[in-house]
Structure 1
């Protein structure tokens, strides 16, 4: 999986994976095991911004991943309480959706949505300015593939080439 991510994003930028205890704390809070491709993505590229606007937190980053997930899930639930047009797959997993990235151009949040099987995950993008969702079958690797290889960005996202920037003052440097 790391080779596939590197084929999409270039060489890893982070060389020390998050401590197993950090991942355990996140998965204990979620009540689910996160997908391997997502954890490899965060371990190799997290606490950074992609395409100048997509913030991807890391468990040991300046904005720790667990705190990010908790705050963004709470905000998502509050923001979408009155929205009726939530895709069934997202609605059925509403209490278990996992915020994993934040687009600072317009406030959209990327979600991991658990599937029927424990190892099946999909991605949804929750649009904040005009409530709605983009659904992507498959996990983070598929979502990244669509953006990088097909150049299909979610609505309202500025397009461009992959550009990785470490968060300023990241403790992971």
Structure 2
């Protein structure tokens, strides 16, 4: 069973498929190839949130705050670079290798560590504590990460303690 099949079994996607995404155009605009599992995940679930808590950035999202092609990934990277220059909150790698791809309702940001840059299938996931210095890293795809959260095989220390006790749910945007 594929990772996406496992995830959709645990947390069903919306009954109506989302509109198709022109991935070559998105990647050209970003100047970056994105992981195949991410593209499949977005093509399956569309815009919305897991547990009404975790939102993935994606192309053409309802607001610029969760649009992967919008200003947020660049704004967040700039903040991390400034923090690093001022020797504030530690960063697990060079900020240039952090690509913001999600956010929680508490303000934690999810990133890909884009190293090696030309091998998106090998990228690591990193999560930064909201307004804090802690980082959590996960070595696997985004789909594997979500599945691990749903099956309670990982615990992200900065996520709410009761998150994994909630019924798996994906709530599409209206």
- TM-score bracket relative to the smaller structure: 0.7 to 0.9
> Within 2, Cα distance between the matches of 1:71 and 1:45?
21
Deviations 1:22-65 (A, max 9, x none): x2233124333111111111111131011121122432331263
> Within 1, Cα distance between the matches of 2:15 and 2:56?
13
> Within 1, Cα distance between the matches of 2:21 and 2:52?
27
Counterpart in the other structure of 1:161: 167
Q: What is the TM-score when the length of structure 2 is the normalising length?
A: 0.76
> Within 2, Cα distance between the matches of 1:5 and 1:145?
5
Unaligned runs of 5+ in 1: none
| Aligned-CA RMSD value | 2.5
Map 1:69-108 onto structure 2 (within 5 A).
Answer: 70-79=71-80, 81-82=82-83, 83=88, 85-87=90-92, 90-91=93-94, 94-104=95-105, 106-108=106-108
Other structure's SS at 2:152 match: coil
Q: What is the TM-score when the length of structure 1 is the normalising length?
A: 0.76
Asked if structure 1 preserves the Cα contact closer than 8 Å seen for 2:148 and 2:154, the reply is yes
Counterpart in the other structure of 2:147: 145
- Runs of 4+ more than 6 Å apart: none
The number of aligned residues is 160
Counterpart in the other structure of 2:41: 41
